[in-house]
Structure 1
């Protein structure tokens, strides 16, 4: 069978969905990657996948430009004739759902990992857009030959309460999974030395970037020798992105160490003690938290949708910090700096949870089960699922 994976960046497809594509490929299916142009797309050929591009500006509100994007998308789907289209992110789900109907695609899966800027921000632009986006979602996602995949129960409740998608068409698959054989506790010694804390994310203010920097500044002012590391790049396509100039000023001030985009996350995590994500963004299930958990790091995050799926018990599988509270974040980091036994216990508990609940093999299998629900009756030669070994 043929599958098309459609996202608003090639980066997302490569970093979050490559393993699922590889599983389908290994089972004898064809997977085509579809996104706007970007620096990661060229890597798909080396993995045996075709990559198609289309003109799409994920921040655009220009009706003419959006109509052109939709026209291109319909044209691509009519040419490719996939058995199933899997759309990722809100905008791609809306456009992909509409285009799939126009192009006669038999089955569609829409994956929304977090509610995004329109649903998380309270600025005027987001509030104005929200009713329109909800109407578009209701009109394009709720279709008998489509299913919606969300990453946490909080988002599922929003969709049910708003009647955006029928209850029976909603599936919750927590996270996009983590390779627990690649991300694992480090054998490096020296964890009892200088504490190293990491925030790894797109550099959006709602990820708690400002609070993280302020906590670092407070602890530095107290004379603590703790290194605060920031990994990730600004996201110019998001109105709430931290600017490149701002991050460079923080680094020049000596408050943080900024690494930019990091290719080899397992290598970086082997040098880190604490993964912090003081987010007040409506996350799906944050990739950085489950990667940190798999690497055996102590986790600090908020009791927000998505984040609470990873850290459920304060002091047991991580530490919970109130959102928008730099002083509380500084206090928790200082606690781990002073109590290395707690640091080790939290890291071990996080690793155990990652293996038990977020291993990507189980997540991929659950995704294939969703495909099976839509395609099973039409499958030539039997099931999609196969073995998980």
Structure 2
């Protein structure tokens, strides 16, 4: 049996789906990946995944480009004849499902890693795109197997008329790569790990850092991640460098040593406006860190209020600063909450559990185990 993944970019596949693809191979599937190849070709090929390069722009709104994407996918699907196609994110799901229908492929999985910028932004362009996306989801995706990462998105997609909606909470976390570590000594360090987007609450994080510094709190605030020029909410390099030079936060850019950075931090923060289920918070849970995040879809899934962290309203820098300050001033509270975070990671978000739940979706389509 052959499974074909269509994902916009290779870095996202490696970060969020490579473990799933490896386990699918072990279960007996032939695995093919259609994606835009950039820096991760060797890693993907070494994992035994056959790779098809597919240039793709997440930002483009061109109708002609969408037609070109669908036409090229039709050609690939006809050549590959996969038994299952698995699309990730809204745009690949819509284009991929249309191509699959034209090719007569009935076993389709569409995974939403959150509903994206168009569902969280109040921008007028986003509102128009949201209307069009809702229409397209109802028209194209209602008969596919859909995977969402949080309960809010499950309710939302079901209300759009989709019948087979599976709640699989995130992409999982490797508990060996992110071991439980005691917090370091010295100055308290707060860390935000994400793409540098306004929708991740980066401005509120910077403002909260300034508030705590004005209150005389000695805290380091780290920003880890790069801008995303394919996303309309991307923060400019000028602004990031300006924040870094101000001394309020330290912008470290893209880093490959996330386990080390988490081990050297005390508190994990992500004041996002909406998520699927953010991997950086799962990594924080696994490392045994208290979480401060927003009470929005996706983020709230990672926090038991007052047990392993705090939830604050979105776009509220003062509330964010107040919640962070409680943890900055109380080492015992950080320790107890960090312990609870690790327990949550082990019991709910291990990569083994998430992969098994996803493979079960494939099995429900095939009707029997492959191997």
Q: Which band: TM-score by shorter chain? A: over 0.9
Cα offset, 1:9, TM superposition: 1.5
Corresponding position of 1:222:
215
SS class of match (1:7): strand
Deviations 1:57-113 (A, max 9, x none): 111111112211111111111111111111000001101111111122241100012
Q: Which runs of 5+ in 1 are unaligned?
A: 377-381
Cα offset, 1:362, TM superposition: 0.7
SS class of match (1:348): helix
1 CA distance for matches of 2:233 and 2:278? Answer: 18
Counterparts in 2 of 1:38-77, with a 5 A limit?
A: 38-77=38-77
Corresponding position: 1:183 with 2:178: yes
Cα offset, 1:356, TM superposition: 0.3
SS class of match (1:171): strand
Contact 1:54 1:73 in 2 (8 A): no
Corresponding position of 1:83:
83
Corresponding position of 2:340:
349
Counterparts in 2 of 1:241-320, with a 5 A limit?
A: 241-281=234-274, 283-312=275-304, 314-320=305-311
2 CA distance for matches of 1:338 and 1:115? Answer: 36
2 CA distance for matches of 1:334 and 1:54? Answer: 46
Deviations 1:149-207 (A, max 9, x none): 111111111112232x12xx1111111111112211225x7x24210111011111121
SS class of match (1:228): strand
1 CA distance for matches of 2:131 and 2:204? Answer: 30
Cα offset, 1:223, TM superposition: 2.9
TM-score between the two structures when normalised by the length of structure 2: 0.96
Of 181, 205, 220, 1:212 maps to 205
Counterparts in 2 of 1:111-122, with a 5 A limit?
A: 111-122=111-122
Contact 2:117 2:199 in 1 (8 A): no
Cα offset, 1:38, TM superposition: 2.2
TM-score between the two structures when normalised by the length of structure 1: 0.92
Cα offset, 1:42, TM superposition: 3.7
Query: Which aligned runs of 4 or more in structure 1 are off by greater than 4 angstroms?
Result: none
Contact 1:204 1:242 in 2 (8 A): yes
SS class of match (1:182): coil
Corresponding position of 1:383:
369
1 CA distance for matches of 2:53 and 2:101? Answer: 20
Cα offset, 1:55, TM superposition: 2.9
Contact 1:55 1:69 in 2 (8 A): no
Corresponding position of 1:379:
none
Deviations 1:35-72 (A, max 9, x none): 12322234211222222122321111111122111111
2 CA distance for matches of 1:322 and 1:156? Answer: 22
Which is worse superposed, 47-56 or 172-181?
A: 47-56
Contact 1:11 1:41 in 2 (8 A): no
1 CA distance for matches of 2:124 and 2:157? Answer: 22
Corresponding position: 1:152 with 2:147: no
2 CA distance for matches of 1:118 and 1:322? Answer: 20
Corresponding position of 1:30:
30
How many pairs were matched up?
371
Tell me the C-alpha RMSD between the 2 structures. 1.4
1 CA distance for matches of 2:5 and 2:260? Answer: 28
SS class of match (2:98): helix
2 CA distance for matches of 1:326 and 1:40? Answer: 37
2 CA distance for matches of 1:193 and 1:321? Answer: 26
SS class of match (1:285): coil
